[in-house]
Amino acid sequence: MKKHGIGLIALATMVFVLAPAWPVLQAAPESTVEPVQTNLTATPESPTGPRKVRGPVDSSLVIPKGPQWLGAPIMPGGTTLKQDSGRLITEYNLPYKQVLTWYQGALKDYPDARYRDWEEEMYIEDQGGSKWHSINISKTGGPKTTVTIVKDNWTWIMATLFIRFAGVFVVLLVLWLGLNISGLIMRRFIKEEIK
């Protein structure tokens, strides 16, 4: 009877340790990945029309033709305040909502753009294969709006890799602690059984 109790305690410990990670363990099936249309019109090179691509794509393949910086769309009619190798800052004599609507329209066919509505700005992040990292549209509340396009950089890439690397060790530490606790519990029951 005590062996069944030990087994139940071990099972309960494993459920307790693995329950928070259950959503992570459930992977989405491969078939849920939506293909992305590129080459939106038929050309002499591709008379069949649009071709389908799976996975992250460069935004310059799906955004409307026009001014771009590192593949990110640039709304026409702005004044360039600063441009260097890592960022482009442009100011528009338009309200925030109008600038945001233009960028949403320009990026509507780009599936790897993620919108984060923060208090001071709208942060549009690229999670695909483009050379730009984010488009920040300021919420000044006035008639002028500043748009900042930031290039991907090694600081961001290394920081995310470090976070993932450290996260693996945190998960392993939690599992190790859970196994040690269950081991201590089992040793106590086994010692009692021997006596």
Please write the tens of the pLDDT for every residue from 26-81: 544 443 434 444 444 434 444 444 445 455 555 656 666 656 667 788 888 889 89
**Is 107 domain-assigned?**
yes
**Is 41 domain-assigned?**
no
* Residue ranges making up the domain that contains 125: 66-152
Whether residue 86 has pLDDT greater than 90: no
Q: How many structural domains compose the chain?
A: 1
The answer to whether 76 and 66 have CB atoms below 8 angstroms apart is yes
| pTM of the predicted model as reported, rounded to 2 decimal places | 0.55
Q: Which residues make Cβ contacts (< 8 Å) with residue 48, sequence separation at least 6?
A: 42
**Is 19 domain-assigned?**
no
**Is 193 domain-assigned?**
no
**Is 142 domain-assigned?**
yes
**Is 140 domain-assigned?**
yes
Amino acid code (one letter) for 56:
P
Q: Give the pair of three-digit tokens for residue 45.
A: 């090179």
**Is 48 domain-assigned?**
no
**Is 56 domain-assigned?**
no
